[in-house]
Every structure is written in C-alpha cells, then in structure tokens.
Amino acid sequence: MIPIAETLLDWYACHGRHDLPWRQNRDPYQLWLAEIMLQQTQVESAKPYYARFLQALPNWQALAAAPQDRVLALWSGLGYYARARNAQRAAQEVVTRFGGHFPNTLEAAVTLPGVGRSTAAAVLASAYGQRQAILDANARRVLIRSHAIEADPKVSATQQWLWTLASALTPEDAHGYNQAIQDLGALICTPRQPRCTACPLVNRCLAHAQGRSHALPVTVNKAPKPQRCAFFLLVVDTEGQILLEKRPDSGIWGGLWCLPQAASDGGAFPILCSDTLHPLEDTPAVRQSLQAAWSRRLGLNLQLKALEEEQQHVFTHFQLRFRCVHARVLGSAVADSSATLRWYRPADALTQGLPTPVRRILRDRSGGC
C-alpha cells in the first residue's frame, strides 16, 4: 500500500477545483444533489442543471413535494432519468423517515433510492466530517494506476480489494482527501492521455514506473451495442398544437413526455433491428401500418405526410435509430388530453421534461423534423 494522502492534500490546496458550486458549503442536500448529478455526467455539463435545480427546489421538502413533471423538466437533457425519479423518492424518504435530515450513518444512507456506497460516503465525509472512503470512477482510476492493479475493475473481487485499499488510505480529513483524489483523476490522471509529468504521485506510481499508465485500468472488449428502431410521430392539430405522450415511469425515458412512437409493423417501441434489415424504410406498407397503429391507439384520424431522414441516439446499452413522421389530423376530431396524452403549443412543449432527441426535433421543427 502506497501512502498518498498527504501528497494529494498538498496538491489539492494549490490546484484543486475549489470554485465548484457544490464545494461552497457543507449542506447535505446540496452535496447529495451534486453527487447524484455527477453520476454519469461531466462536471461542466452538470453545472447549469445544478444551479437551476437548486433555485427551483432548494431543499428536501421542496423536492419531495414537487410534481414529477416539474422534476423531470428540470432534469431534461441531463440524461439517465432514473436518477431524477430516484432523487425525488430519496427526498421523500429523507422527509418521512429521517425527519428532513440526510441520515448520518453509511448503513442508513445507502437505503435511500439511487444512493450507493460511494455517494453516501462522499456526503457523510463532507457534510458530517466522517472518515468515509469514496470509490467513484476518478478515485478508482488513481488507485488502480498508483498500485498497478491489473485485474478487471468490474469483477467483484477487484472491487472489494479497491474498497479495502480506499478505506485504508483515507485519512481523518476525508472531506479534503476525497475531493483531492477526485480532482486528480479528473484533471491529471485522466482516462486517456494521463498527464503523468504533472502528477504529484509520479515518483510513487507503480503504473508510471512500469510504463503502463496508458494500459491501466484494463478494459474488457465490449460487444457491439444492439440497435433498436422506431418512428416518432409529429402530429399537429387544427390549432397548431403538438401531441405528446407520457412514457411509463419505468423503462426508456421513464416519466418523460415524448412524441408518440411505433415500430414499422405498428408494434411496441422500440424493436430490435440490424444492418441486414431495413425496418425504417419508407414504403406504402410501412406508412399504412404506422397510420393504422397510431390512429387506433391515439383515437385520431391521421394523414401521414413526410418521413424525415434517419437519426441516431446512443444509450448506454443500445443505439436507437429513428425517423420522424409528419402528420396532420383530418377533420375536426382530435384526441382528448389525458394523463398520458396531451396537446401542447410548441413553446410550451419545450418547457416539459423531454428526451434529448425529441427536444431536438421540436427545436428544429421550423427547418424540418
């Protein structure tokens, strides 16, 4: 085990990101919110969302009581929307189970929705001054390289060893140390092209001594992402309103408002597809199937118009290929607004919680789908 705490703390005092908005106080709610937003999201991307979210929902009680649509609208564009739903559930549990205070033990904190061991430890160390080790992606990478750990970091045994190492290396000033090791991983010991010559640990880093900084952590070859395909319906009524459909709380884009979707056979969204098949082709049979499926499900008499060019959106576990279909409502009959179907004026639609591809479609509507 290589002692690194003192060196890291000295480096952090001079080079750390002390100006980050969530480092300006020790408020548990603000620290927790930042930790949730920074899961799977880069710091610069999270900053504006963090500021808007705090301004609108400044404490546990406000988040717990907010309409889900409001929470998702504030989160819209940040991705990984289960984080937003879990965040609201966590706030509700903090209010009802813990009297409006973030629990002060690791065992209790990890029972909150969306709060894992590292997230809980980061909040406890910074808010309550506890000696709690973290193991986020940045900290894990620093430990793997400094100790030349060649095992797959995703394997359970490796994770257990890394937690043991992290706990042993974390000093009493866990708050400062945790921020220091995060910043070193984010600024110096980066995933690609680590800046070893600027690293305060360069003289004690085993990976650097072995000339293997770029090779660690080891990566396991990933299988190609499966592809899924769908059509999005952009239908406008006689008053110029756009129809949106609320997604189920679970699954893809859970709880968000979306353009109605369908597969080329009129079935559920999205279907698996491959390069050898062409489920997004514009053919009379496809148009007829889509029109019948949407008319039946939405209760509308539709006329499909243009099909725009194929677009793509990448998820963690698959790639979505989609085309946007323009349509108009025939006659005066329109679908009634309901809990899951609602007509919006274009400007109002953009204020809702929308998936990124749908937001892009609506913003670009004046120039095509």
Q: Could you give the CA distance from residue 62 to residue 15 in angstroms, rounded to a whole number?
A: 35
Q: Could you give the CA distance from residue 116 to residue 229 in angstroms, rounded to a whole number?
A: 33
Whether the CB-CB separation of 130 and 124 falls below 8 Å is answered with yes
Rounded average pLDDT per 10-residue block, the chain, 369 residues: 91 97 96 96 95 98 97 93 96 98 98 97 98 97 96 93 97 97 97 95 96 92 84 91 90 90 68 62 88 88 89 88 91 66 92 92 68
Number of Cα atoms under 13 Å in the Cβ half of residue 262: 21
Q: Could you give the CA distance from residue 323 to residue 332 in angstroms, rounded to a whole number?
A: 27
To which CATH superfamily is domain 5-215 assigned? Answer: Hypothetical protein; domain 2 (1.10.340.30)
- Tokens standing for 272? 């698996």
Residue type, 55: Q
pLDDT of residue 352: 93
Residue type, 191: P
Q: What are phi and psi of 202, to 5 degrees?
A: -60, -35
DSSP SS3 for 338? coil
In the chain, the DSSP E strands lie at: 227-236, 242-246, 257-258, 261-262, 271-273, 302-307, 311-314, 319-329, 341-344
Other beta carbons within 10 angstroms of residue 104's beta carbon come to 14
Query: Domain spans of the chain?
Result: 5-215, 227-363
Other beta carbons within 10 angstroms of residue 359's beta carbon come to 17
Residue type, 50: Y
pLDDT of residue 334: 59
Q: What are phi and psi of 134, to 5 degrees?
A: -110, 165
The secondary structure of residue 215, as a DSSP letter, is G
Q: Could you give the CA distance from residue 247 to residue 232 in angstroms, rounded to a whole number?
A: 13
To which CATH superfamily is domain 227-363 assigned? Answer: Nucleoside Triphosphate Pyrophosphohydrolase (3.90.79.10)
CA distances from 291 to 81, 231, 232, 286, 327 (A): 30, 11, 12, 9, 9
* Cα-Cα-Cα-Cα dihedral sign, residues 356, 223, 119, 67: positive
pLDDT of residue 201: 97
The secondary structure of residue 263, as a DSSP letter, is -
Active site residue 310: no
pLDDT of residue 367: 46
Number of Cα atoms under 13 Å in the Cβ half of residue 142: 31
Whether the CB-CB separation of 279 and 273 falls below 8 Å is answered with yes
The reply to whether 5-215 and 227-363 are identical in fold is no
pLDDT of residue 332: 59
Catalytic-labelled residue, pool 35, 239, 308, 309 = 35
Helical (H) or strand (E) element with 50: helix 43-56
Residue type, 159: Q
Residue 180: burial class (beta carbons within 10 Å; 0-12, 13-18, 19+)? buried
